[in-house]
Homo-oligomer: A and B are copies of this chain.
């Protein structure tokens, strides 16, 4: 369930993550109106809490705010999605040399395990589970750069890209291909082959375009 930040902080942050997760899961369609009163009842909190959470979501550009008219789920502009995917691919590819240079053996084993977890969910798991497993894989991959800011920035970007539950991984064939690419990445890291890793990452991310 907890797709965003793992640790729980203050109450406002928990609420923010709940709403963000629900939006990404498709509970609120793009463009739909987020009434404060409805949210207040849905999440069993006070009105000011909701307002803080909505303001934060608007800052993150997950929703948009129209004065005196309320908050609406951000409608993904095609050009913007293309630019975000391009940027994400650019950063993750640029991180490839750091991953092969700085990654250790044990970290690589964890990565291989996460790739296997994703593989195991191809047939049995729900879309949500698959999406979480995919996210866990990429988080581990980026944590191997030794620079936590990279993973944090990518996480921020990913939130703004319409994700799997909203209909990205259409076919089972596409998911199988993703899994193959995961193992390609693991192999590239094991061989400390930055070029191969970069190539696999680029193909993996750009599949969505």
A interface residues (Cβ-Cβ under 8 A, vs B): 10, 52, 55-56, 59-60, 67, 80, 83-84, 86-87, 90-91, 93-95, 98, 147-150, 153, 157
For A56, A98, A149, which residue has the most chain B Cβ atoms within 10 angstroms?
Answer: A149
Query: For A86, what are the chain B residues with a Cβ–Cβ distance below 8 Å?
Result: 147, 149
Query: For A90, what are the chain B residues with a Cβ–Cβ distance below 8 Å?
Result: 91, 94-95, 98, 150
Residue of B nearest to A16 (CB): B59
Residue of B nearest to A80 (CB): B149
**What's the least CB distance linking A186 to chain B, in Å?**
22
Report whether B153 and A157 are in contact in the complex, using a CB–CB cutoff of 8 Å: yes
Q: List 19 A-B contacts (CB under 8 A).
A: A52-B55, A55-B55, A55-B56, A56-B56, A56-B59, A83-B147, A83-B148, A83-B149, A86-B149, A87-B147, A87-B149, A87-B150, A90-B91, A90-B94, A90-B98, A91-B91, A94-B94, A153-B153, A153-B157
